Amino acid sequence: MKLERVVVTGCAGFLGSHLCEQLLAGGTEVVGIDCFTDYYARDLKERNLVELREHPRFTLLEIDLSSARLDGLLEGVDVVFHLAAQAGVRGSFGETFATYLRNNVQATQRLLEAAAQQQLPRVVYASSSSVYGDAERRPTPESTPRQPVSPYGMTKVATEELAGVYGRTRGVDAIGLRYFTAYGPRQRPDMAFTRFLTRSLKHEPLIVFGDGRQVRDFTYVDDVVAGTIAAAERGTAGAVYNIGGGTPVELLEVFELIGELLERPVDVEHRESVLGDARATGSSTELAAADLGYAPQVDLASGLAAQLEWLRELLAETGVPVRDRARVSLSSRA
């Protein structure tokens, strides 16, 4: 499928801004949608949009998908990339769950309804590895039962089910992507690598919840974007694909790697485990490789170095003195 004009929801976020830039670089016209929730500071999101706002083929719409009128929003659009969501596993417990229902479930249903009315060619939506919870097997294929261990993960299951309903009853061509722990420049401030690297650069101890032997399948942002675009171009209607990095590692190994990048040891402070965190994740990407040609290219050391350098520059801009620099430059696995 040729992508001439698309909509990207969550365009001011970590993944959304990178996706918009890559689409524009390929000649696509992009309509970006974001409601700038207060989950983290708006100025960080505005920073993500600086280059996009200057691009002649980019249009920004500040609307809330859970409540705004969507009439005509998708007219003339080839694909909607639906990345907007309320993020965060731990914050989804308790009274704040209402926000997750509104921003993840209700917003998705309303967007799918608009897609059905417009007879939109394709919707590519973001799901999450959180749907698997503590998966019964690793690497985890898409056929693995979904057993989320957080309300956030449950809302992503609901998103997938909504896409299925609209596919069966309204003919909406929807493709889901289960992202596995995306990282890289512009990663949200609440996410682990941003927290670890920021504290490292400030010579503060890294805070880890649990023993640090949790295993995660980390996926560099460029690989996430490549898989997302490939899903729009070549994915099978109704399918759900894992988009992972393919090399799960323990957090303790990550701490060692950060120390190597900074050429000094880092201190680690352990705290009690928290609800909602799966013990281990690991993606099987065989289906994405077969259907989408997906193959992650950036190794963890190179990706972490790129995120570290981005954070160093961000902290310097905000007046935080930083002496350390990453000593590893971005490279591919090849």
- How many angstroms separate the CA atoms of 35 and 103, rounded? 10
Beta-carbon neighbour count of residue 322 at 10 Å? Answer: 16
pLDDT for 321 equals 59
Residue-wise pLDDT for 142-169, tens only, equals 999 999 999 999 999 999 999 999 999 9
Tokens read off for 17: 């801004």
Query: How many Å apart are CA 37 and CA 85, to the nearest integer?
Result: 10
Q: Is the pLDDT of residue 334 over 70?
A: no
For residue 329, what pLDDT is reported? 37
φ, ψ (nearest 5 deg) of residue 28: -85, 145
Does the pLDDT value for residue 332 go beyond 90?
Answer: no
> Is 131 in contact with 158 (CB distance < 8 Å)?
no
Over 70: is that where the pLDDT of 327 sits? no
pLDDT at 324: 52
Q: 330 or 83: whose pLDDT is higher?
A: 83
For 180-236, the pLDDT digits (tens) are 999 999 999 999 999 999 999 999 999 999 999 999 999 999 999 999 999 999 999
CA dist 153 to 74, 145, 169, 221, Å? 28, 13, 25, 21
d(CA 173, CA 168): 9
pLDDT tens sequence across 85-114: 999 999 999 999 999 999 999 999 999 999
Residue-wise pLDDT tens digits, 127-144: 999 999 999 899 999 999
Contact 166, 174 (CB under 8 A): yes
Q: What is the pLDDT of residues 252-310, one digit of tens each?
A: 999 999 999 999 999 999 999 888 889 999 999 999 999 999 999 999 999 999 999 99
pTM of the full predicted structure? 0.95
**What pLDDT sits at residue 233?**
98
CA distance 289 to 136: 22
Please give the pLDDT value at position 1. 84
Total residue count of the chain as it appears in this document: 334
221/307 Cα distance (integer angstroms): 10
Average pLDDT over residues 72-82: 97
> At how many degrees (to 10) do helices 221-234 and 14-25 cross?
60
**CA dist., res. 190 & res. 183, Å (int):** 12
- For residue 284, the cross-strand partners are none
Q: Which of 10, 250, 283, 275 is nearest to 126 (CA)?
A: 10
Instruction: Quote the mean pLDDT of the chain.
Output: 94
Q: Hey, what are 100's tokens?
A: 């997750």
CB 168 within 8 A of CB 278: no
> 3-state DSSP call for residue 178?
strand
Q: pLDDT band at 322, cuts 50/70/90? A: low
Please tell me the predicted confidence (pLDDT) of residue 246: 87
What percent of the chain stands above pLDDT 90? 91
pLDDT score of 43 more than 70: yes
**Known catalytic membership, residue 152:** yes
Specify the pLDDT at position 323: 53
Q: Is the pLDDT of residue 320 over 80?
A: no
Q: Which CATH superfamily is domain 5-180+219-243 in?
A: NAD(P)-binding Rossmann-like Domain (3.40.50.720)
Give the C-alpha separation, 215 to 122, whole Å.
34
Task: Please state, as a whole number, how many other Cβ atoms lie within 10 Å of the Cβ of residue 41.
Answer: 11
pLDDT category of residue 317 using cuts at 50, 70 and 90: confident
Q: Assess whether pLDDT exceeds 90 at residue 27.
A: yes
CB atoms within 10 A of CB 284: 19
Q: Which of 152, 166, 183, 294 is catalytic?
A: 152
Q: How far is CA 44 from CA 12, 50, 62, 147, 303, in A?
A: 9, 10, 16, 33, 20
33 phi, psi to nearest 5 deg: -125, 135
The residues spanned by each domain of the chain are 5-180+219-243
Structure tokens at 271: 């705290």
